[in-house]
Amino acid sequence: GNFLTNFELRAKFRSLVTPCIGHASEIALCDLIMNFDNETVDNLFHETIPTPGMLMAGED
What single-letter amino acid sits at 40?
Answer: T
Note down the domain range covering 10.
6-47
14 in a domain, yes or no?
yes
Q: Where are the alpha helices (DSSP H) in 1-60?
A: 6-21, 23-34, 41-47
Give the separation between CA 15 and CA 2, rounded to whole angstroms.
Answer: 20
Q: Report the predicted TM-score, pTM, of the whole model to 2 decimal places.
A: 0.58
Residue (of 20, 48, 18) closest to 36 by Cα position: 48
Rg (Cα) of the chain, in Å, rounded? 14
17 in a domain, yes or no?
yes
- Render pLDDT for 11-34 as a digit per residue (tens, 0 to 9): 999 999 999 999 999 998 898 888
Q: Which residue has better confidence, 55 or 15?
A: 15
59 in a domain, yes or no?
no
56 in a domain, yes or no?
no
Q: How confident is the model at residue 43 (pLDDT cuts 50, 70, 90)?
A: confident
